[in-house]
């Protein structure tokens, strides 16, 4: 019961937050003048006509970072249960986690040595 009430509260908070944002949009609609014309709605680029498109296949320097990020994010999810019951398990948890972290670190080190961790 308590869990459901909490969940409902979270959903409610989200809805109220959205309502708040849209209430502000509504207030702007009411209070602000609106005189759009082509030059005003044109893209701003330091006072020039933009050359070319902005939505192009843009080069992401952190493509490799993103993959390592995924690995580490999942790893934290694996950590989560074990740290909660750490005190019950004791030394075994420490040894197991150490091995896990060592493997991860070796991976990170490999990526580092390969130069993946260089933003370029």
Partner 1 sequence: MGLIENAERPNFILTTIDTLLRWGRSHSLWWCNAGSACCSLEFAAMGGARYDMDRIGSGLVRASPRQSDVLLIPGPITKKMAPIFVRVYNQMPDPKWVIAMGSCAISGGAFRESYSMTRGADTVLPVDVYVPGCPVRPEALFYGLLKLRARVRGTSNIGLAHREPIYVPPDLPPEWEAEVREFLGEHEAC
Partner 2 sequence: MNARIFLTQLLGALGLIVILGFNVIIMDWWERKLVGHIHRRPGPMHTGWHGILQPFADMLKMLSKEDIVPDRADRLFFWLGPAVAVVPAFMALAVLPLAPGFALADIGNGLFFVFAMQTIMPFGYTLIGWSGHNKWSLVGALRSAAQLISYEIPMLIVALGILLAAGSARLTDIVNAQSTVWYAVKQPIGLLIFFITAVAEMNRSPFDMPEAESELVAGIHTEYAGMKFGLVMMAEYTAMLVGSWMIVLLFLGGWHLWPLPPSPVWLVLKLYLVQSGIIWLRGTYLRLRVDTMMEMSWKYLIPASLANLMLVGVLATTFKGF
Partner 3 sequence: MIEDHPRVGRLQKDAVTESIVLNMGPQHPSMHGVFHMQLELSGETILAARPVIGYLHRGIEKLAEHRTYAQCMVLVDRLDYISQYCNEWAYCRAIERLARIEVPERAEWLRTMYAELVRVTSHLMWFGSVGLDLGGWTPVIYAFIPRERIFDFFEATTGSRLMPNYLRFGGVKEDVDPAEMEALHAYLAKDLIDALDEFDGLVTGNEIFLSRQRGLAPMTVDQAHAWGVTGPMLRACGSTRDLRIDTPYGVYDRLDWESCTDTRGDALARYSVRMREMRESAKMALQCIERMPAGEVRTKVARVLRPPEGEVYVRHESTRGELGFHIVSDGSPKPYRFRVRSPAFMNVSSLPHLCAGAKISEFFAIFGGIDNVMAEIDR
Residues in the site for partner 3, rule: CB under 8 A? 45-48, 50-54, 56-61, 64, 114-116, 118, 120
Pick from 85, 117, 82: nearest CA to 99? 82
Positions 8 through 67 that interact with partner 1 (CB under 8 A) = 29-35, 37, 39-40, 42, 44, 47-48, 51
> Is 103 near partner 2 (CB under 8 A)?
no
Q: C-beta of 100: minimal distance to partner 2 in Å?
A: 10
Q: Minimum distance from CB of 84 to partner 2 (Å)? A: 6
Contact partner at residue 113 from partner 2, partner 1, partner 3, none, CB < 5 to 8 Å by partner kind: none
Integer CA distances (angstroms), 28 to 18, 24, 88, in order: 15, 6, 56
CA–CA separation, 92 vs 103, rounded Å?
17
d(CA 79, CA 71): 12
């Amino acid at each position: 019961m308590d869990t459901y009430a909490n969940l409902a509260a979270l959903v409610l908070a989200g809805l109220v937050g959205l309502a708040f944002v849209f209430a502000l949009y509504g207030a702007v609609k009411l209070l602000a003048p609106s005189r759009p014309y082509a030059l005003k709605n044109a893209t701003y680029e330091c006072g020039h006509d933009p050359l070319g498109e902005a939505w192009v296949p843009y080069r992401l320097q952190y493509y490799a970072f993103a993959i390592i990020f995924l690995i580490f994010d999942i790893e934290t999810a694996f950590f989560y249960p074990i740290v909660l019951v750490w005190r019950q398990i004791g030394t075994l948890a420490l040894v197991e986690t150490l091995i896990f972290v060592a493997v991860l670190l070796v991976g990170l080190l490999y990526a580092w040595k390969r130069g993946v961790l260089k933003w370029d």
